[in-house]
């Protein structure tokens, strides 16, 4: 029998070991002297996230520094070969020095610092295009540094006498190796380098890490293996030496790159990815990332995002850091309002406040997006802080506008080089229930969806999006064109709120193909109105068969048209030449585009027909379970996850958002910036931004002061 005392002791020891994984144990408890495979994998993912979210300039110059360091390896290899009369051991003793410089210096070297992002991509936390971009930039930097080094070694006269002969001998030896043996020799080198990455992250002290790096890279020359950056440097050195008359062989740049460097590049890549990264990835447990994620949120990229998108880093590094988590935790229904001009965007904020006011704990989050020139650096935070201070003061009136509708108000400023993408980044980070924003009249595009056309193929909206084309907003007479679907359902929810809070008159429009379908259309529209709580709305059936013309006719005396995003796929819209913006130009009313998150397949995103339901009495075009969003009428709190499901509104027509005065949602080139707290701990500021693209400040102090002033005046909640 099992001794109960022994069992309890075993459980206690296991508990002690488990606690030691995440921090220092209490006195007397055990501390493991090594990381588990799961913990090693998490450390690699964290480092990879930092790498792939670096700016292009930082990546290139880090790669350039690594290429120059590789020159040291080549120089010492050739010098010791000449000094030791090609001794097989002594000549390679200093070969690893350049690699040690790279690893200790944190430079980007292809096959070494570049392989961890593969793990990030396997976890669907970075897209394949992001991985390829990272590789290309780093490799370009490595090759540029190697080229500069080869130029200095040859034309600078660094090599002379026997060293020149040794250098040309080492550089030319790889040309005698056939393609496939060269490829597999490079694959073994890739295995060694990727193994260094894994063991380096598993090491707990610098001496062990240094010893592993030295011995591992020493194995490359001892095993007669090849590294792509060293090989590229050798090829260029041979070409330069030939031009100086120091080498008599005929080496062309094309032959050197295609016949020598290319198989080494492919071998290094395959060896690192397949033999180490994949093996180590699949030997870790399914729970390897749970400690690094927030419960209830899945942040993996969708398959289209993963294959075609540009996103990276949003999943592992939490979208909400500790301060943001505290800021947004426990809120009710929250509407995020990106603005570009605090003086003119009051109507949009007021509409958002009306939507939020239909909930017991409604919140309006006003985000002032300020686009700065590319040449302005945001890494120090000084420029961003000055802009944010002015922005906080400028949003004073907007706080009052929103608070007048008895909702909580929070404000933030985003200073970025790419304002368009930061709207989407902010929505992903702060997880609102809806985003309400404006577009510019002079910069519309014909997507008829919330995203830009290419982003439509690669991304899923994080929440409901409402996009308004006009600042001078009149909600007194509303028209909703519909043929069913989740997006027109969102339109109905918005209209119902406006009817209750602003006394809006609502009309519903359904377009059928002919007079013979009118009775069926009337039945459909009546059932749809009843289902969405708009029984008092005026019902209009147009039998002209042209959706856009029908909208123009019905909107003649209306002040606001609310249209759901189109269901048609991108290529279907292009081929049919449909969904031009004529309907926007033909109506005098403001237009509000509504879209719910959709899990449409790539095929549907490209080729979806957008056809109306054949059974008009059903009132929906796809399975209702395939699409869901936040009910702007409900008070059940916020969603914890991305909404899923299917069809967009089936009207067959609808305007498309543009950028103009108000940025539209899109996908940025990386994760959103991080936030920190200032010394006082009151107002969030960007003391530790992730990159140089954006600076974010949440104006807690100003919001609290405005709230206190309202309470003192007796107008607060």
Token pair listed for 150: 């080869």
Three-class SS state of 475: coil
CA 507, CA 558: separation in Å to the nearest integer? 9
- Backbone dihedral angles phi then psi of residue 576, each to the nearest 5 degrees: -80, -5
CA 648, CA 645: separation in Å to the nearest integer? 9
Three-class SS state of 474: coil
Minimal CA–CA distance to 578: which of 439, 446, 443, 441?
446
Q: What is the CA radius of gyration of the chain?
A: 31
Residue 97 near residue 76 (C-beta atoms within 8 A): yes
414: left (phi over 0), alpha (psi -120 to 50) or beta: beta
Beta partners for 363? 334, 408
CA 414, CA 675: separation in Å to the nearest integer? 11
Mean pLDDT of residues grouped by 10 in the chain (717 residues)? 51 49 48 69 77 82 94 96 94 95 90 79 83 92 96 92 93 92 94 86 82 93 95 95 88 90 94 77 57 43 73 45 46 85 87 88 89 69 80 89 89 80 76 82 45 53 80 85 81 91 91 89 91 91 86 89 70 44 70 77 58 33 38 45 35 35 34 36 37 71 77 55
Buried b (16+ CB within 10 A) or exposed e, 691-713: bbbbbbbbbbebbeebbeebeee
DSSP states along 375-438 = TS--SSSHHHHHHHHHHHHHTHHHHHHHHTTS-EEEEEEEEES-HHHHHHHHHHHH--SEEEEE
Question: How many H-runs (helices) and E-runs (strands) does the chain carry?
Answer: 27, 13
User: Tell me, what's the pLDDT at 58?
Assistant: 86
User: Tell me, what's the pLDDT at 71?
Assistant: 95
Q: How far is CA 371 from CA 374, 417, 420, 545, 702, in A?
A: 9, 5, 9, 43, 22
CA 257, CA 573: separation in Å to the nearest integer? 44
Minimal CA–CA distance to 437: which of 414, 471, 413, 407?
471
- Backbone dihedral angles phi then psi of residue 438, each to the nearest 5 degrees: -110, 160
Minimal CA–CA distance to 114: which of 193, 209, 58?
193
Three-class SS state of 334: strand
CA 210, CA 196: separation in Å to the nearest integer? 10
Q: Which long-range contacts (CB under 8 A, 24 or more apart) does 393-397 make?
A: 393/702, 394/342, 394/343, 394/368, 395/342, 395/366, 395/368, 395/699, 395/702, 396/702, 396/706, 397/342, 397/346
**Quick one: CA dihedral 35, 40, 41, 46, positive or negative?**
positive
Query: Would you mind telling me the total number of residues written for the chain in this entry?
Result: 717
Cα angle for residues 649, 650, 653 (degrees, 5° grid): 95
DSSP annotation of 506? E
Token pair listed for 56: 């292009």
Three-class SS state of 375: coil
DSSP annotation of 676? E
443 contact partners, CB below 8 Å, separation of at least 6 = 658, 659, 660
- Backbone dihedral angles phi then psi of residue 478, each to the nearest 5 degrees: -110, 140
Q: How far is CA 21 from CA 15, 16, 29, in A?
A: 10, 9, 12
CA 352, CA 347: separation in Å to the nearest integer? 9
CA 465, CA 488: separation in Å to the nearest integer? 12
Residue 78 near residue 165 (C-beta atoms within 8 A): no
293: left (phi over 0), alpha (psi -120 to 50) or beta: beta
**Quick one: CA dihedral 517, 521, 522, 527, positive or negative?**
positive
Token pair listed for 76: 């010492």
Beta partners for 371? 416
Residue 354 near residue 501 (C-beta atoms within 8 A): yes
Residue 478 near residue 562 (C-beta atoms within 8 A): yes
Residue 593 near residue 563 (C-beta atoms within 8 A): yes
Token pair listed for 578: 């449909």
Pairing state between β 590-595 and 464-468: antiparallel
CA 309, CA 169: separation in Å to the nearest integer? 45
Token pair listed for 30: 């055990």
Minimal CA–CA distance to 290: which of 311, 315, 312?
315
Minimal CA–CA distance to 337: which of 502, 467, 487?
467
């Amino acid at each position: 029998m099992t001794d109960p005392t022994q069992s309890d002791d075993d459980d206690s020891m296991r508990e002690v070991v488990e606690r030691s994984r995440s921090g220092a144990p209490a006195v007397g408890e055990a501390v493991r002297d090594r990381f588990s495979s799961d913990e090693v994998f998490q450390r690699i993912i964290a480092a990879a996230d930092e790498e792939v979210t670096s700016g292009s300039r930082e990546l290139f110059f880090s790669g350039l520094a690594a290429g120059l360091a590789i020159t040291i390896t080549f120089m010492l290899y050739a010098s010791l070969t000449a000094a030791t009369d090609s001794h097989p051991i002594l000549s390679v003793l200093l070969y690893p020095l350049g690699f040690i410089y790279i690893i200790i210096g944190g430079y980007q070297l292809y096959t070494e610092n570049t392989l961890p992002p593969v793990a990030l991509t396997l976890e669907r936390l970075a897209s394949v295009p992001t991985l390829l971009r990272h590789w290309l930039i780093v490799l370009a930097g490595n090759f540029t540094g190697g080229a500069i080094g080869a130029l200095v070694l040859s034309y600078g006269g660094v090599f002379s006498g026997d060293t020149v002969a040794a250098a040309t001998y080492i550089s030319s030896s790889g040309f005698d190796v056939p393609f496939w043996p060269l490829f597999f020799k490079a694959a073994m080198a890739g295995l060694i380098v990727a193994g260094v990455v894994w063991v380096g992250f598993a090491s707990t002290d610098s001496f062990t890490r240094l010893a592993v790096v030295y011995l591992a890279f020493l194995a490359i020359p001892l095993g007669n293996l090849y590294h792509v950056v060293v090989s590229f440097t050798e090829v260029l050195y041979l070409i330069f030496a030939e031009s100086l008359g120091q080498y008599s062989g005929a080496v062309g740049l094309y032959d050197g790159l295609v016949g020598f460097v290319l198989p080494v590049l492919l071998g290094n890549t395959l060896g690192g990815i397949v033999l180490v990264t994949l093996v180590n990835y699949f030997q870790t447990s399914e729970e390897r990332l749970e400690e690094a994620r927030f419960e209830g949120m899945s942040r993996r990229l969708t398959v289209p995002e993963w294959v075609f998108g540009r996103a990276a880093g949003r999943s592992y590094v939490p979208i909400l850091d500790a301060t943001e988590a505290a800021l947004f935790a426990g809120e009710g229904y929250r509407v995020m309002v990106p603005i570009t001009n605090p003086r003119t965007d009051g109507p949009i904020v007021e509409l958002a406040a009306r939507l939020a006011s239909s909930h017991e704990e409604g919140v309006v989050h006003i985000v002032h997006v300020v686009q700065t020139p590319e040449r302005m650096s945001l890494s120090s935070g000084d420029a961003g802080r000055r802009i944010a201070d002015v922005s906080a003061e400028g949003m004073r009136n907007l706080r009052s506008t929103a608070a007048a509708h008895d909702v909580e108000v929070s404000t933030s400023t985003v200073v970025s080089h790419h304002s368009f993408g930061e709207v989407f980044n902010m929505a992903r980070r702060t997880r609102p229930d809806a985003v309400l924003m404006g577009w510019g009249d002079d910069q519309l595009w014909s997507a008829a969806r919330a995203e830009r056309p290419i982003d439509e193929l690669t991304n899923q909206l994080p929440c409901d999006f409402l996009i308004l084309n006009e600042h001078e907003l009149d909600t007194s007479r509303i028209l909703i064109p519909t043929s069913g679907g989740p997006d027109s359902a969102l339109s109905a929810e918005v209209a119902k709120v406006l009817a209750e809070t602003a006394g809006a008159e609502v009309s519903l429009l359904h377009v059928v193909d002919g007079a013979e379908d009118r009775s069926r259309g009337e039945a459909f529209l009546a059932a749809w109105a009843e289902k969405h709580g708009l029984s008092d709305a005026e019902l209009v059936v147009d039998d002209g068969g042209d959706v856009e013309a029908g909208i123009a006719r019905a909107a003649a005396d209306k002040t606001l048209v609310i249209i759901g995003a189109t269901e048609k796929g991108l290529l279907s819209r292009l081929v049919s030449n449909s969904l031009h913006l004529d309907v926007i130009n033909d109506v005098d009313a403001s237009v509000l585009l509504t879209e719910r998150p959709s899990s449409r397949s790539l095929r549907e995103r490209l080729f979806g027909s957008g056809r109306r339901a054949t059974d008009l009495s059903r009132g929906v075009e796809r399975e209702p379970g395939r699409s869901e969003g936040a009910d702007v009428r409900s008070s059940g709190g916020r969603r914890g996850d991305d909404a899923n499901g299917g069809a967009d509104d089936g009207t067959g027509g609808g305007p498309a958002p543009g950028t103009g005065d108000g940025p539209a949602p899109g996908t940025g080139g990386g994760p959103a910036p991080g936030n920190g707290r200032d010394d006082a701990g009151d107002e969030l500021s960007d003391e530790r931004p992730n990159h140089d693209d954006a600076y974010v400040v949440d104006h807690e102090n100003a919001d609290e002061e405005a709230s206190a002033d309202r309470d003192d005046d007796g107008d607060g909640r």
